[in-house]
Amino acid sequence: MATHNACGRWDIFCAVVDNYGDIGVTWRLAKQLAQEHQLAITLWVDDLKSFSHILPQLDPGLMTQIHSNITINQWSQPSVVDYQVGDVIIEAFACELPEQIKHTLDTLHIAYKNDPQAVKPPLWLNLEYLSAESWVEGCHGLPSMQTSGIKKYFYFPGFSDKTGGLICEKTLLADRERWQLDSQNKQELFTSLGLSGIDQADTVVSVFSYESDALLGLCQLWQTNSAKTHALIPKGRSLNSLQAILPCSVDELTPGMQIPLGNLLIHILPMTDQEGYDKLLWSCDFNIVRGEDSFLRAQWAAKPFIWHIYEQEEDYHLIKLDAFMQLYCNNLPPELAISWKALNLAFNKEQAAQTCENWQQLNLADLPLQQHAKQWPIDAINDVDLVSRLVQFVKNS
């Protein structure tokens, strides 16, 4: 078994949860590692069909294939075919490595401990979920001793310089700035997505949420507003909340359909790849997002947003939401911070009436809100992105 350069070949394992969330983050991670750090990445994914929604070129029927110079393998429990030991192995979001691989790591560790000339086991990392909670700083980078003595390190993304950082490609913020400076880019994107009837003065909202009575309440409010609102919604969980105002069942909706409801026009979006989704977020006046990947991309879009956080037992998700809101609102004028927090909290509590009231209080054209949305990505990146910190962590370990 050949040895490799310091951190040249990595294996990343991802179990797809909620269709797009975990694989969305993992795919961005893999691409950035390969493109910016010239690492050989093998990505093991248990649900290629869901993966193909954000990577249309992917063939869910193939056991192995290469896209963006990344080897993508179907991960079929309990066994993993053709796994070869590399330099780093990552469990994305505690997905739990297959037993055969854990056994391989244990065996290599014991052999290497007894003979330093033996093959060195890969560095074993668990990439955790993003959180703004303060305890993350104390847990980031800590090892967990396994039965054989091999260590698994816990890597926590986060918003401070004592965490693992945030996924952000090196040119992303500059690319977004250039895109938003030319309004023609937005119009061309809308045309390519089959969207029509959107005037410059209209309010455009992208919606990628879980089911929520608050979303239905907002749509009913937008119907009666004096200004025209366009809600751009892909087929999925968001639309389940709107069945009461839709002219047909959600199953009958198709990309390209437009549903006029008073001064609200709902556009059914086609699914797009990650680059297309980024541009969609850049092009809207307001974004409603869910999970982790879309949540972070909404921040990089430099536009106001609602984060519909994944619901957890005993309302723990609201604690995570509050921790982020405290950070995000730190430099906002107090009255504006109160309005933005109240809107996000009411939406996540599914308080439709309160959500509508807070929406009406939030002026999307408010200059401090716009300035804050543009400054936040610069502050949040903390000079160094997650992938650069991760590569350095591996080298130091």
Catalytic residues: 22, 292
Return the sign of the alpha-carbon dihedral for residues 377, 216, 360, 131: negative
What is the amino acid identity at position 174? A
Angstrom distance (rounded) from CA 215 to CA 210: 9
SS3 content of the chain, % helix, strand, coil (to 5): 40, 15, 40
Residue 263's closest CA among 311, 231, 303?
231
What is the amino acid identity at position 160? S
- Give the CA distances from residue 155 to residues 37, 88, 312, 386, in Å, rounded to whole numbers and listed in that order: 19, 13, 22, 10
Cβ contact 296:261 at 8 Å: no
Helix (H) or strand (E) holding 243: none
N-to-C CA span, the chain: 22
| 378-379-384 Cα angle (round to 5) | 75
